[in-house]
């Protein structure tokens, strides 16, 4: 009964607009004090313990590296390179959009950052070439969901903390699913743009060579990152520091596209974002601890066992649940609140935790484009100058593509597990 009352408190605080970090913290502390289990000092210790993790050092560093690369103008180089590769096929600029998002995902790690940065470039460019603004906006924000699925992924770093999974294994597990999602979009774009006129731009071998040289240093960054982790050269946390140094070299030394004044602003923005995420991680730690004391994970597993003993039905239930959660809750709090509850149940159903992690992340990525919260949907609507309803209508066929890819990833686990197993992560 106490747990039910406190969960009701959590819902009420959320409805009244209290930030989720404080909702979790207040609810957990109230529960611990009312049950006599803890004291304010214990609560403070648990919050600090949730943030006191060596692996979490990777979070601000990956965030900083992505911000440096975006501010340093890597987007323009990637778009030019993608345009020279696929720009002359029918619907070529739409294909460039998808390919640019995939390449950008390997350096930013954030779907919102990709949507904001690429949207400001691709939406006006596609509109100028007779693509519908709504279609351009829907394609850009849909293709951007691969960013947290490819390494370096901020979401995977956060996911690894409560689950104690290997960040390196999660990084590798996301590679093939991300490519699958992007290829699915490219197939749909080929169909949707089948009547679009071909580009009249002429081939330029010298231009392709120059664009390749410009883009290659950015494209090799995720390869060096994963290769270094797999080769034992550095840990995932150390890899984040290496990526920051590499990003500074590219933008301030090699290309000279970032000045010290710009770096100061990037550091300021990165610190603010990191602080808000870390506070949420700390309060979610005590919230998860309180739920464990109240046996909420065990009760959830027992409830699911009562509904079904079939793992495929369990996965269907989880997919529907997470798709709904993604509509009303941002990705980070959704992971911190629900993963400590769902992950033990998934393991009890015999699912590989790495595969289940990819399922969760892909589900929640669909949510960043779904009303009413839809962070990326709001971002791209502002960039395109369109109403949210207009972009949502254009998104409907892309939802079908995303859900189809999600079902394949869910029920064909080898898609997520092949690469980490091949490279020695897990059995």
Question: Which of 303, 330, 327 lies closest to 395, judged by CA?
Answer: 327
| Rounded to 5°, angle at Cα 246 from 224 and 77 | 85
Return d(Cα 358, Cα 209) in angstroms, integer.
36
Question: pLDDT tens, 237-278?
Answer: 888 888 899 989 988 988 888 888 889 999 998 898 888 888
Please tell me whether residue 147 adopts helix, strand or coil conformation. Answer: coil
Residue 388, pLDDT > 80, answer yes
What distance lies between CA 159 and its chain's CA centroid?
10
Compute the residue count for the chain.
427
Confidence category of residue 200, pLDDT binned at 50, 70, 90: low
**Helix 260-293 × helix 40-51 angle, to 10°:** 130
* Averaged confidence pLDDT in the chain: 84
Residues in contact with 360: Cβ distance below 8 Å, sequence separation at least 6, in sequence order: 159, 318, 322, 335, 339, 342
Side-chain-side CA neighbours of residue 52 (13 Å): 7
Confidence category of residue 205, pLDDT binned at 50, 70, 90: low
SS (H, E, C) 154-173: HHHHHHHHHHCCCHHHHHHH
Distances (CA, A) of 226 to 153, 234, 243, 309, 423: 12, 10, 11, 37, 10
* pLDDT above 90 coverage of the chain, percent: 25
Return d(Cα 217, Cα 72) in angstroms, integer.
13
Q: Report the chain's C-alpha Rg in angstroms.
A: 22
Return d(Cα 279, Cα 25) in angstroms, integer.
10
What's residue 3's pLDDT? 59
Give the largest Cα separation in the chain, rounded.
75
Return d(Cα 92, Cα 85) in angstroms, integer.
9
Residue 204, pLDDT > 70, answer no
What's residue 1's pLDDT? 46
Question: Contact 361/174 with Cβ under 8 angstroms?
Answer: yes
Query: 410 is written with which tokens?
Result: 């869910």
Scanning the structure block, which residue is given the tokens 């029918």? 90
Residues in contact with 272: Cβ distance below 8 Å, sequence separation at least 6, in sequence order: none
The residues spanned by each domain of the chain are: 39-422
* pTM, full prediction: 0.85
Residue 4, pLDDT > 60, answer yes
């Amino acid at each position: 009964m106490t747990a039910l009352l406190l969960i009701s408190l959590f819902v009420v605080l959320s409805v009244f607009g209290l930030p989720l970090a404080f909702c979790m913290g207040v609810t957990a502390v109230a529960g611990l004090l009312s049950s006599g289990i803890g004291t304010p000092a214990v609560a403070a210790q648990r919050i600090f313990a949730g943030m006191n993790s060596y692996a979490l050092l990777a979070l601000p560093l990956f965030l900083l590296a992505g911000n440096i690369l975006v501010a340093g103008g890597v987007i323009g180089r990637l778009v030019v390179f993608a345009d020279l590769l696929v720009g002359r096929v029918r619907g070529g600029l739409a294909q460039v959009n998808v390919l640019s998002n995939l390449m950008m995902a390997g350096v930013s790690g954030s779907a919102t950052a990709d949507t904001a940065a690429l949207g400001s470039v691709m939406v006006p460019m596609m509109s100028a070439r007779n693509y519908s603004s709504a279609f351009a906006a829907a394609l850009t924000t849909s293709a951007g969901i691969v960013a947290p699925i490819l390494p370096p992924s901020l979401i995977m770093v956060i996911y690894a903390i409560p689950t104690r999974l290997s960040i390196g294994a999660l990084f590798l597990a996301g590679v093939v699913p991300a490519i699958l999602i992007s290829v699915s979009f490219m197939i749909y774009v080929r169909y949707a743009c089948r009547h679009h006129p071909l580009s009249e731009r002429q081939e330029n071998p010298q231009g392709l060579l120059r664009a390749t040289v410009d883009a290659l240093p950015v494209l090799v960054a995720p390869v060096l990152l994963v290769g270094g982790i797999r080769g034992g050269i550095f840990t995932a946390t150390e890899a984040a520091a290496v990526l920051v140094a590499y990003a500074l070299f590219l933008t301030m030394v090699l290309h000279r596209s970032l000045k010290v004044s710009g770096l100061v602003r990037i550091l300021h923005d990165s610190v603010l974002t990191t602080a808000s995420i870390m506070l949420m991680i700390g309060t979610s730690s005590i919230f998860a601890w309180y739920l464990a004391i109240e046996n909420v994970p065990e009760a959830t597993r027992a409830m699911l066992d009562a509904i079904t003993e079939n793992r495929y039905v369990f996965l269907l239930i989880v997919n529907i649940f997470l798709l709904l959660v993604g509509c009303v809750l941002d990705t980070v709090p959704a992971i911190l609140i629900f993963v400590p509850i769902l992950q033990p149940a998934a393991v009890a159903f015999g699912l590989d935790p790495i595969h289940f992690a990819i399922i969760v992340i892909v589900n929640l990525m669909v949510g960043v484009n779904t009303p009413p919260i839809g962070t990326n949907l709001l971002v791209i609507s502002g960039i395109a100058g369109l109403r949210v309803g207009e972009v949502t209508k254009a998104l409907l066929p892309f939802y079908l593509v995303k859900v189809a890819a999600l079902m394949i990833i869910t029920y064909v686990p080898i898609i997520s597990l092949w690469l980490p197993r091949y490279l020695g992560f897990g059995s």
